[in-house]
Amino acid sequence: MTYHLETAEHPEKLRRVAIDPVSRVEGHGKVTLLLDEDNKVRQVRLHIVEFRGFEKFIQGRPYWEVPVMVQRLCGICPVSHHLAASKAMDAIVGAKRLTPTAEKIRRLMHYGQIMQSHALHFFHLCSPDLLFGFDSEVGQRNIVGVAAKHPETARRGVLIRKFGQEAIRLTAGKRIHGTGSIPGGVNKSLSVEERDYLLKDIYQIVAWCRDAVHLARELHETDPALYNSFGIFRSHFMSLIGADGQMDLYDGRLRARDDSGAIHFDGVAQADYEKYIQEEVKPWSYMKFPYFRALGNERGWYKVGPLARVQNCDSIPTPLADAERREFLDYAGGMPMHTALGYHWTRMIEMLHAAETIKDLLHDPDILGGDLMTTGERGFEGFGMIEAPRGTLIHHYRVDENDLVSMCNLIVSTTHNNQAMNEAIRHVARRYLHGREITEGLLNHIEVAIRAYDPCLSCATHALGKMPLAVELVDAAGTLVHRLQRDA
Amino acid sequence: MSQTFTLDGEEIPFRDGQTIIQAAHDAGRWIPHLCYHPEFKPHGSCKLCTVTVNGRHMASCTTQAAAGQTVESDTEALNGERRTLLQMLFVEGNHFCPSCEKSGDCKLQATAYELGMMTPHFDHFYPSRPVDASHPEVLLDFNRCILCSLCVRASRDVDGKCVFALSGRGIGTKLVVNAASGRLADTDAAIGDKALEVCPVGVILKKRRGFAVPIGERTYDKAPISETEE
Ligand code: SF4
Ligand code: FES
């Protein structure tokens, strides 16, 4: 199956433009556009080279090492992999139910991760585009520019992120590459001093996160024409859902809705994911294209992440975030919102939910407990799913009788969004680039659409919030016509 | 009457038959080392304990202390040479500290921290080495072996078993276990063997222990190796 603009009929006659962000180990993404003589867009593809070989690399390693080792998959959300792998390995050590302390410490770690990742994404990576405009002066369109013009926003962004990182450090042992979560439980809980250290700032953090939701909302309200249509396309969406249909980013069952919001499947146990989701390989990208089996590869693709989650759950179990969720639904007018920029607003709602959840956990004496581990009957297959900052993350392993991993399958959030991101940039390319001379600002429109999904390739670009990239226009004969270079 | 030598200008007493490293350690002075262990005969292979004795490079774990020696150890030049040796050890094997369960308890890592090794400097060999998980209680991850032979000596001299041996020569040297199948499960290794306790790095590991000790409570989280070592 090919989609409109996925594959051009005579590619050899077209000009090739490549947007080639050079990123670090965890991912390398590239956009290629094929243009005809009139600069009309004929083909648009987002290719991602990512995680190649990692599943192989894990094979043959002892299972207890995996939750720590998989953190190498991603430099920005290693905790998600750490926890998803731990959850899968819980089944290997027979821990059917964790101790309350272990479960809550893991949740604290996870919501800290959601907070730090969402803050990084919104404030560092995206606020420059959102506050200054997508084709604003490139010298200003970065976090340094935001710090100069909106110092309070930038400062809060830094401090919210830092708070999330501290929650990770205290539960995992380190901000990155921690070891806190282990098969069957955790290796530490919080001391009273550690708890109090987080507690003293959490109310401020909750308030700031609430302001951030309002900032995202105001952006939509001030420019609805842009925000309600940019990178828009309809699709199904999926996420884990907790008990009673509530949002739960740490655990739950899979629920999917179609583009109009009707339930496609619900209550699917994590171990059954393969019955509902299939992955397609395409020759031009290393990243697979997952889709819902029942609908087939043409119609079955979907999106994950904040925009999916906030609209998929029946409620959010913390009051402030739930109020914001309802406002968002009202704004969307009773139908699911599909615009790419809706991700920002919903991401901020989730950040608020994370802050409120952390606040509640800090008041729960279980996080100070000493009962950390559970064991039981040895298992040989484990499924670990979590709602990572970017969406549903699936880890699936089989472990042999010598304790070594014999099979590993990972479906990461960015992979679920693969087709969705391709659709988003095709939409943007049609609307903004068609028939025009390519400029940096126009190119940035493509990036804005990709970045809304917060894929791993944008994770690679923390500090200044811009993707280092080279864009080359090559004519049909292969001659370089024009080159734009931007460094991080 | 006690006899002494000087170590970096400090008088160190020693008994007859003591090596420089033994006398230094008795006096509370740490000399970096990896293949030396006070309970076993010295092997003299890693060369990390190299000092200068009256100006000449000598392995302090195999050199007898003698009255009046002028020994230098903690000098920029010697520590620079030690860093180079460490860098070579890091690139010869597959050492990835962040996902190694021995992290924080590993003497190679702790010594590298102590001596300020910042990068591996050389190209990695990325050798292809297997994992032996055949034994129900013990995992062997050969990727991290630094060929110190401590397990070999412990098995032979303490356990009386010869479970481990170094085989081959030069760059081809590798650790093997004493079974026709080459699998640890087919040797007479058993929990409680000294040989299974002494590995300074993350090769010989008790299974299913993993990352049970949190960061902050591991051996070298609490104090640097120079203050921790025997
Ligand atoms: S396994 Fe450990 S103790 Fe034995 S030689 Fe290798 S590094 Fe030394
Ligand atoms: S400790 Fe002396 S040579 Fe290894």
Which ipTM value was assigned to this complex?
0.88
Based on the fold, state whether residues B45 and B135 are members of the same structural domain: no
Supply the pLDDT for residue A221.
85
Based on the fold, state whether residues B108 and B143 are members of the same structural domain: yes
**Which ligand 1 atom is nearest residue B35's CA?**
8
pLDDT above 60 (res A103)? yes
Domain count, chain B: 2
Based on the fold, state whether residues B14 and B100 are members of the same structural domain: no
pLDDT tens-place string over residues A302-348: 989 999 999 999 999 999 999 999 999 999 888 898 887 888 899 99
Mean pLDDT, rounded, for A274-281: 88
B134, B139, B214 ranked by CB distance to A62: nearest? B139
Question: Is residue B219 very low, low, confident or very high in pLDDT (cuts 50, 70, 90)?
Answer: very high
Query: Cβ separation of A177 and B98 shorter than 8 Å?
Result: yes
Supply the pLDDT for residue A429.
79
pLDDT above 90 (res A412)? no
Residue A68 in contact with partner chain B when CB distance is under 8 A? yes
Residue A178 in contact with partner chain B when CB distance is under 8 A? yes
pLDDT tens-place string over residues A455-473: 665 333 222 233 444 445 4
Mutational test site, ligand 2, from B19, B25, B35, max ligand atoms within 8 Å of CB: B35
Supply the pLDDT for residue A470.
45
Lowest-confidence region among A148-152, A270-274, A448-452, B221-225: A448-452
Based on the fold, state whether residues B65 and B96 are members of the same structural domain: no
| pTM recorded for the entire structure | 0.86
Supply the pLDDT for residue A286.
65
Query: Cβ separation of A187 and B211 shorter than 8 Å?
Result: yes
Query: Cβ separation of A183 and B210 shorter than 8 Å?
Result: yes
pLDDT tens-place string over residues A4-25: 667 766 666 666 655 554 222 2
Based on the fold, state whether residues B42 and B87 are members of the same structural domain: no
B61 lines ligand 1 (CB under 6 A): no
A61, A179, A403 ranked by CB distance to B211: nearest? A179
User: For all residues of chain A together, what is the average pLDDT?
Assistant: 83
Q: Name which of B109, B111, B5, B4 is nearest B52 in CA terms.
A: B5
pLDDT above 80 (res A443)? no
Mean pLDDT, rounded, for A214-219: 88
**A127 and A151 Cβ atoms separated by less than 8 Å:** no
Supply the pLDDT for residue A457.
52
Question: Does residue B217 lie within any of the structural domains?
Answer: no
Based on the fold, state whether residues B130 and B37 are members of the same structural domain: no
Based on the fold, state whether residues B70 and B115 are members of the same structural domain: no
Residues of B in contact with A67 (CB under 8 A): 211
* Domain span at B133: 83-210
pLDDT above 70 (res A454)? no
Supply the pLDDT for residue A430.
79
Based on the fold, state whether residues B204 and B108 are members of the same structural domain: yes
Question: Does residue B221 lie within any of the structural domains?
Answer: no
List of domains in chain A: 11-50+420-486 (no CATH), 54-414 (1.10.645.10)
Question: Does residue B223 lie within any of the structural domains?
Answer: no
Residue A180 in contact with partner chain B when CB distance is under 8 A? yes
Q: What is the CATH number of the domain that holds B140?
A: 3.30.70.20
Cβ within 8 Å of residue A2, ≥6 positions away? none
Instruction: In whole angstroms, give the CA distance from residue A413 to residue A461.
Output: 18
Residue B162 CA to ligand 1 center (angstroms) comes to 14
Based on the fold, state whether residues B57 and B106 are members of the same structural domain: no
Question: Does residue B229 lie within any of the structural domains?
Answer: no
Based on the fold, state whether residues B120 and B196 are members of the same structural domain: yes
Based on the fold, state whether residues B184 and B203 are members of the same structural domain: yes
Q: What is the DSSP string of chain B?
A: --EEEEETTEEEEE-TT-BHHHHHHHTT-----SS--TTS-----S-TTEEEETTEEEETTTSBP-TT-EEE-S-HHHHHHHHHHHHHHHHHTT--GGG-TTTTT-HHHHHHHHTT--S--SPP------EE--SSSEEEEGGG-----HHHHIIIIIIS---EEEES-GGG-EEEESSTT--GGGS---TT-GGGT--SSSSEEETTTTT-SPTTSSHHHHS-HHHH--
Mean pLDDT, rounded, for A57-64: 91
Based on the fold, state whether residues B47 and B70 are members of the same structural domain: yes
B49 lines ligand 2 (CB under 6 A): yes
Question: Does residue B177 lie within any of the structural domains?
Answer: yes
Nearest Cα of chain A lies from the Cα of B150 at a distance, in angstroms, of 24
Residue A169 CA to ligand 1 center (angstroms) comes to 32
Residue A136 CA to ligand 1 center (angstroms) comes to 60
Residue A375 CA to ligand 1 center (angstroms) comes to 31
pLDDT tens-place string over residues A129-138: 777 776 667 6
Question: Does residue B10 lie within any of the structural domains?
Answer: yes
Query: Cβ separation of B101 and A180 shorter than 8 Å?
Result: no
Both tokens assigned to B66: 């003698």
pLDDT tens-place string over residues A206-216: 999 999 999 88
Q: What is the CATH number of the domain that holds B53?
A: 3.10.20.740
